[in-house]
Structure 1
Amino acid sequence: MTTRPDTLENVTQQQLRSMAHQNPPPQVELCSCRAGVYLVHLHDGSKSYQLVDNHQMPLHFHAIEEAKDLLRPLGFTHGTLTFIDDSDEMIGTAMDRVSSEDALKNGTRIGF
C-alpha cells in the first residue's frame, strides 16, 4: 500500500460539467465518510478534486442517489464507492493513508 500523495483541489458543479466531456473523463469516487454522508472526489491523471459549492465548501450528500442525480445529467455514467479509512478519521493510528489508486481499485463500482 502506498501513501496517498494527492491533495484535493476544489471543483464546482460548473467546472465539473466541462470535466465530464474530457477524454477520458475523470474517475468519480463517492467517498462514504460516516453514516449517510458522502463526498464526491474526482481523479484525473495526477490530480484529485473535491466537489464544492460556490462558497468553496465541500458538497455533502445524504444518499448515493443524491450524488447520482447530480452526476448523471452532467454525463458521468459510473463511479466507485469507497469508505474513509482509519487514518482519515484522525483517531491517532500510526498507519499511512490509503492511496487514491488503492481506494479506487478496492472500492465498489456503481452505475449512475
Structure 2
Amino acid sequence: MASSTDTLENLTLHQLRSLAHRDFKPQVELCPTRAGVYLVRLHDGHTAYQLVDSHQAPRHFHAIEEVKDLLRPLGFTEGTLTFIDDSDEMVGSDMDTVSNQDALENGTRIGF
C-alpha cells in the first residue's frame, strides 16, 4: 500500500449544495467510527472534503439513513462505506496508511 498524502478540507452543507449542482458530483465516502457514528467525506478529483457544521467541527451521523436523508435531495444516490485505517490506532505499527483512492476502490458500495 502506498503512503497517504491525502488531506481533508472542511466543507459545510452550504458549500456542498453548490458542489451538488455540478455535472460531476463528488464521490461520497462514509467512515464509521466509534459506536455507530459516521463521518462523511467527499472526493472531487484530487481534493478530499470532510462535511462539517457551522463551527467547522465534523458532522456526526448516527445512521446511514441520516446521511441518505441529507444527501439524496441534493442528487447523491450512492456512496462508499470505508473503514478507518488500523495503522492510525496502533502504536509502533510500521504499516503504511491506506490512501483515499485505495479506501474508495476497496470499500463497500451503498445506495441512498
**Fold conserved between structures, TM > 0.5:** yes
Matches within 5 A, 1:17-32: 17-32=17-32
Q: State how far apart, in whole Å, the 2-side matches of 1:88 and 1:31 are.
A: 14
C-alpha deviation, 1:34, in angstroms: 2.3
Structure having the higher strand fraction is: 1
TM-score by length of 2: 0.94
Gaps of 5+ in 2: none
Could you say what secondary structure the match of 2:82 adopts?
strand
Q: Cα RMSD between the aligned structures?
A: 1.0
Q: State how far apart, in whole Å, the 2-side matches of 1:67 and 1:12 are.
A: 14
Report percent identity of matched pairs: 72
Gaps of 5+ in 1: none
C-alpha deviation, 1:35, in angstroms: 2.3
Q: Which residue of 2 aligns with 1:98?
A: 98
Q: Which residue of 2 aligns with 1:45?
A: 45
Q: State how far apart, in whole Å, the 1-side matches of 2:3 and 2:33 are.
A: 19
Q: How many residues align?
A: 111
Query: What do residues 31-66 of structure 1 show as CA deviations (whole Å, max 9, x unaligned)?
Result: 112220110000111110000000000001111111
Q: Which residue of 1 aligns with 2:84?
A: 84
